[in-house]
Structure 1
Amino acid sequence: MDTFDVGQLVPGFRPPPQGAPAEIDPAALAAAQTRTRHWRSSFPGPLIPGTDRHRAETCRMFRETFNPYRPAVLDWPSLAPAERARIVALPIWDIAVQTEGKARLRMAAYARTLCEPDMRGALALNAWEEQRHKDVLSRMVAAYGIALAPEPTPALPADPEWAYLVTGYSECIDSFFAFGLFELARRSGLFPQALVDTFEPVMQEECRHILLFANWAGWHRARLPFWRRLRFEARVAAVWLYLAWERIGLAHTVGAERMAPEQEQDNNFTLHGAQSVASTEVGMADLMALCLEENARRFAGYDERLLRPTTVPRLASLLLRIARPLRGRR
């Protein structure tokens, strides 16, 4: 039994209120699905990173776009044998469940180090939602009889800021590609529409998570004095190098029946999933374009004054500009 409790790590955190399963109104859930995708601040001026207003509106966005779905009442549709076999065969489920387990712990560990109550509460809620993602995935694999490897118990990070940066930037990378791969799977029929609809709240919640992370990073770095900001930027650069090296290592292990413990990669399942989804007749340029399209669509409903993750979309746009002329010549 999973006994993880964000409140034990972040004193004062209270989970958001949720009705009992029998009390959930389908109309209210539909309204929540819309509300979680659309938010605009009532403040008329600019939201300047580092200001109290920017922090307050970022945290208000995260609270007000909360979706009250309950994993226990999600309706996992019956699948035809061929559909179930394709989903069971995807080599992502072990990594996906373990990723959420590490993310919830790292976010809660960093949240409890913050003195500012608004941001501490938002990051604690983020950790709670990661716990809910883990619950969703655990119930899904149980519903379809997907066998998981034993899950190691992640340790409390010795350096909470580093762990939070790794988790946050990992999610920025993985979500960008996951948005496109999820849509590609829907279009190809790999995931039946009923299953797509059931899993959709989790995908949009990941968009909210990286929106919160991007604005936390902007708020945090703008408040640092010059020498501490230099140190922070050096840490961010080190995180990107670490993640690049990690994903190069992961690319070499894709296709192995089971990675050895010393080869297990941290916080990523995008490349594993791509091996299965990208087997359709879709070129890399087309897949990149779809990821950019889906990334823009999922962020479109949020106040444009809030910061967005930009590094991966910019790199993808650059690669796309290079790839299209080359493809044209061929």
Structure 2
Amino acid sequence: MSSHALFPIERRHGFGLPAALLLIVRASGASYASDGSLLFPPSSSADNVRRQESLARMSLSELSPPPSGLKLASSGADDAGIIAAADQAARHWVSPFKGKLTPGSEAHKQATLRMFLETFNPYKPTIIDWPKLSDEERDRLTSLPIWDIAVQTEGKARIRMASYAESLRDPAWREAIALNGWEEGRHKVVLSNLVQAYGIVLEPEPPYPPPKHTEWAYLVTGFSECIDSFFAFGLFAVAQRSGFFPPELVDTFEPVMQEECRHILLFANWLAAHRRNLPIWRRIWFEMQVAAVWVFLGWERIGLARGMDGDGKAAKAQDNNFTVTGTKAVSDVDVSVRELMELCLSENDRRFAGYDQRLRRPTTMPALTRLACRFIRKPKQKAAA
């Protein structure tokens, strides 16, 4: 039996939401080619202004209703106090259950699922006012070397999560993971509007067929998001502090970043519960899959697989490791590797701090980063001029 039969490798480019401007595409109202891909013709500055004005408010008609009986806010919902309260509720949640939340227990499952459903934000990032950008600011945005990778990653993430949810017998986990997939679709709609608003030109999208091996595909997507989001939290903070992008644009994507935090919190707790409930013979097979996923993702991120796409064809050169190498693209200040690592750690802790401490957090990337920091010297302080 071949290794591909044991562990079906499906390429998933890593991009990690650098400055949270990376998830993407395909909304109604855009122009489509005969194969269903988006078309973005070259545009002038005047076209860009008109496009931004026409897409100043994201159209709710582009979103299907969320699952689980949840409802989106209406496009006229502009009460600042209500929106702020919903944003706060999406960032803070503690289970009313008193006691230990042991992975695999019914209490742990119910806490995890209630966390994910009750922190759903019906306002952000559904209702977005796109800021107008100067030509220089727009050029900075469009020059990021990640847009095609972002498009394909989000297209795969949505279908992989939806497919895995459909395969589950447990209705509670199925409901939560289906909502996760729906939120990935919401990210695509959000970014499709950004693409149109700022005239970003994309390559034609490939088709996104449902995966043949749903659990493998879900593991690849889940672990990838754990890696990418960890570095993205730090890069987003760099972008916020540097002022390299207009604050209005960066702030627009803050809710998207927090939503990614919720996603990987759900994945980490599903993983812990799933492991605990498997019989020993299935647990061994599952751990072999997990090990294979980490090998694949490590192979991908060190660049050994960068020359091929998911079909074994030569891929267009873009930066799969943008979350590690992208500080220059989101900031005009020097940030050392050690400083970025420490910032990723602090931002990771900050984003998870509002959720019940008894729920599991992703641990691999923080642990590896802390280990690496022990061997990387802090940069010398520059002498004052």
TM over 0.5: yes
Q: Judging changes above 3 Å, is the alpha-carbon distance between structure 1 residues 102 and 308 closer, same or farther for their aligned structure 2 residues?
A: same
1:304 aligned partner, one-letter code = Q
Which residue number in structure 2 is paired with residue 301 of structure 1? 354
Which residue number in structure 2 is paired with residue 240 of structure 1? 294
Q: Secondary structure at the match of 2:376?
A: helix
Inter-partner Cα distance in structure 2 for 1:171 and 1:267: 13
Alignment of 1:323 onto 2:376: yes
Identical positions, percent: 58
Inter-partner Cα distance in structure 1 for 2:113 and 2:162: 16
Match for 2:120 among 44, 56, 66?
A: 66
Which residue number in structure 1 is paired with residue 366 of structure 2? 313
Q: Please state how far the C-alpha of 1:73 moved relative to its aligned partner.
A: 3.4
Name the larger-Rg structure. 2
Which residue number in structure 2 is paired with residue 178 of structure 1? 232
* Contact preservation (8 Å) 1:76, 1:195: yes
Deviation readout 1:167-192 (Å, 9 max, x if unpaired):
00000000000000011011111221
Moved over 4 A (4+): 1-7, 12-15, 250-253, 264-269
Q: Please state how far the C-alpha of 1:279 moved relative to its aligned partner.
A: 6.5
Alignment of 1:133 onto 2:187: yes
Inter-partner Cα distance in structure 2 for 1:277 and 1:80: 16
Q: Please state how far the C-alpha of 1:277 moved relative to its aligned partner.
A: 3.2
Alignment of 1:262 onto 2:314: yes
Which residue number in structure 2 is paired with residue 224 of structure 1? 278
1:292 aligned partner, one-letter code = L
- Structure 2 unaligned regions, length at least 5: 1-25, 29-61, 381-385
Q: Secondary structure at the match of 1:147?
A: coil
Q: Please state how far the C-alpha of 1:114 moved relative to its aligned partner.
A: 0.9
Match runs of 1:90-105 below 5 Å: 90-105=144-159
Q: Please state how far the C-alpha of 1:100 moved relative to its aligned partner.
A: 1.2
Compare relative contact order (CA 8 Å, sep 6+) and give the higher one, 1 or 2: 2
Deviation readout 1:113-172 (Å, 9 max, x if unpaired):
111111110000000000001111111111111111111111110000000000000000
- Structure 1 unaligned regions, length at least 5: 254-259
Which residue number in structure 1 is paired with residue 251 of structure 2? 197
1:233 aligned partner, one-letter code = E
Q: Judging changes above 3 Å, is the alpha-carbon distance between structure 1 residues 68 and 89 closer, same or farther for their aligned structure 2 residues?
A: same
Q: Please state how far the C-alpha of 1:273 moved relative to its aligned partner.
A: 3.7
* Contact preservation (8 Å) 2:73, 2:123: no
Alignment of 1:36 onto 2:90: yes
Q: Please state how far the C-alpha of 1:275 moved relative to its aligned partner.
A: 5.4
Q: Judging changes above 3 Å, is the alpha-carbon distance between structure 1 residues 288 and 178 closer, same or farther for their aligned structure 2 residues?
A: same
2:265 aligned partner, one-letter code = L
* Contact preservation (8 Å) 1:91, 1:273: no
Q: Judging changes above 3 Å, is the alpha-carbon distance between structure 1 residues 270 and 125 closer, same or farther for their aligned structure 2 residues?
A: same
Question: Number of matched residues?
Answer: 317
Which residue number in structure 1 is paired with residue 335 of structure 2? 282
Q: TM-score, normalised by structure 1?
A: 0.89
